[in-house]
């Protein structure tokens, strides 16, 4: 019986010392498995005399019950401890604010937003979007647009020239998106109604100029296109873009090699309190250049100026973004400052439409 007492103490001590369910299972097998110590005692009862068998059988069964109960109790304790540890590790503080979704953090750059606004406005007028390469030939960037060989715009202080290729031709970073108009006229038959947004490059840098900037140009070629159509398009564009009921515009004579006549366009505004507001006031602000497509440009693009005529205009996207959304310095557009973008950027799902509003 003393052996039973020692076995009981050893087994119960091993059960208490089990650190996890795996260790506890090892103790159970060692005691109650087919080759366990208690199972061995039970299998040896058959060799004892009847009286001894009855006495030891009762003692062994009592030991087995104690061990089984101790195992069940310890297993329950280990499960409870494991559950508490998991709960502690996975605790959520419901008083903390919810994490901000990436869709709420992300912002569209104002240039992308304004370009989408332009596309929405002109799409309503029946215009499609035309695009072309940033690196252009001298012929497309200047020659076909009626720039004379000695025109100042060709000089190094205005244009980024690339190294000459094997043929000796020097390509340029386009100084305007007008080469896209040339490519359109060379590949499409009139009537043509396109806008040409994109990056352009000039050697210039200050608060309102950068070496790389964004421009959108419009082109209409038809048999009866005239300045009255041009004026209506520009007025409707300004009303829609600046979201005002009416605008007053004035057209001043100017000169561009690719248009004749050429005009600068001013829009009426108010500058009270240092804030520019359109559709009111007595001040004027230059906003774009335009004119009728020069007959030489039409000829250079394979169109007969006695049959077709057209008009074009060009607007700086960065400039009108600054005017509409109150951004004081053009250089900040290109500094990749996340704080600036968080302040001035637009939510990804704020898709501009004329129905719901351009700048919701």
pLDDT score for 221: 96
pLDDT score for 206: 64
pLDDT score for 354: 62
**Biggest alpha carbon distance in the chain?**
132
pLDDT score for 355: 56
pTM of the entire structure?
Answer: 0.68
Using the structure block, give the residue that is written with the tokens 């019950």: 65
Domain covering 104-344: architecture: 2-Layer Sandwich (3.30)
Q: Spell out the domain ranges in the chain.
A: 2-89, 104-344
What are the b/e assignments for 1-28, b being 16+ CB within 10 Å? eeeeeebbeebbebbeebeeeeebeebb
* Two structure tokens written together for 59: 């003692």
State the Cα–Cα distance between residues 179 and 220, nearest whole angstrom. 15
pLDDT score for 353: 66
State the Cα–Cα distance between residues 196 and 352, nearest whole angstrom. 18
Integer angstrom CA distances of residue 173 from 33, 115, 228, 283? 85, 21, 34, 36
Instruction: Determine how β-strand 212-222 pairs with β-strand 309-316.
Output: antiparallel
pLDDT score for 184: 96
* Two structure tokens written together for 225: 């296109």
- Print pLDDT tens along the chain (360 aa): 457 778 778 888 888 888 888 888 888 888 888 777 877 777 777 677 777 777 777 777 787 888 888 888 888 888 898 888 888 888 777 787 878 777 777 888 899 999 999 999 999 999 999 999 999 998 999 999 999 888 777 776 588 888 887 777 888 999 999 999 999 999 999 999 999 999 999 887 666 667 888 999 999 999 999 999 999 999 999 999 988 888 899 999 999 999 999 999 999 888 887 777 887 878 888 899 999 999 999 999 999 999 999 999 999 999 889 888 888 888 888 888 888 888 888 887 777 666 555 665
């Amino acid at each position: 019986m003393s052996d039973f007492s020692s076995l009981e103490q050893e087994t119960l001590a091993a059960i208490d010392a089990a650190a996890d369910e795996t260790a506890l299972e090892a103790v159970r097998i060692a005691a109650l498995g087919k080759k366990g110590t208690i199972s061995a005692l039970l299998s040896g009862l058959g060799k004892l005399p009847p009286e001894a068998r009855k006495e030891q059988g009762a003692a062994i069964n009592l030991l087995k019950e104690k061990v089984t109960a101790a195992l069940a109790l310890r297993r329950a304790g280990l499960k409870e401890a494991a559950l508490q540890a998991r709960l502690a590790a996975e605790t959520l503080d419901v008083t903390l604010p919810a994490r901000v979704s990436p869709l709420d953090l992300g912002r569209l750059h104002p240039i992308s937003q304004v370009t989408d606004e332009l596309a929405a406005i002109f799409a309503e007028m029946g215009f499609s979007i035309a695009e072309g390469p940033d690196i252009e030939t001298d012929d497309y960037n200047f020659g076909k647009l009626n720039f004379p060989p000695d025109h100042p715009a060709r000089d190094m202080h205005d244009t980024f020239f690339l190294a000459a290729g094997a043929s000796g031709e020097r390509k340029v970073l386009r100084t305007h998106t007008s080469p896209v108009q040339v490519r359109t006229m060379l590949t499409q038959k009139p009537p043509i109604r396109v806008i040409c947004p994109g990056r352009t490059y000039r050697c210039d840098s200050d608060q309102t100029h950068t070496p790389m900037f964004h421009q959108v140009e419009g082109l209409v070629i038809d048999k009866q296109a005239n300045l009255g159509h041009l004026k209506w398009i520009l007025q409707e564009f300004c009303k829609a873009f600046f979201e005002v009921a009416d605008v007053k515009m004035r057209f001043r004579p100017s000169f561009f090699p690719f248009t004749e006549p050429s005009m600068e366009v001013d829009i009426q505004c108010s500058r009270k309190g240092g804030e520019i507001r359109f559709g009111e006031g007595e001040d004027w602000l230059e906003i774009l250049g335009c004119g009728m497509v020069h007959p030489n440009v039409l000829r250079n693009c394979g169109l007969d100026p006695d049959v077709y005529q057209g008009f074009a205009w060009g607007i700086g996207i960065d400039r009108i973004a600054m005017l509409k959304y109150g951004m004081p310095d053009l250089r900040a557009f290109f500094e990749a400052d996340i704080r600036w973008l968080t302040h001035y950027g637009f939510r990804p799902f704020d898709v501009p439409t004329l129905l719901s509003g351009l700048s919701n």
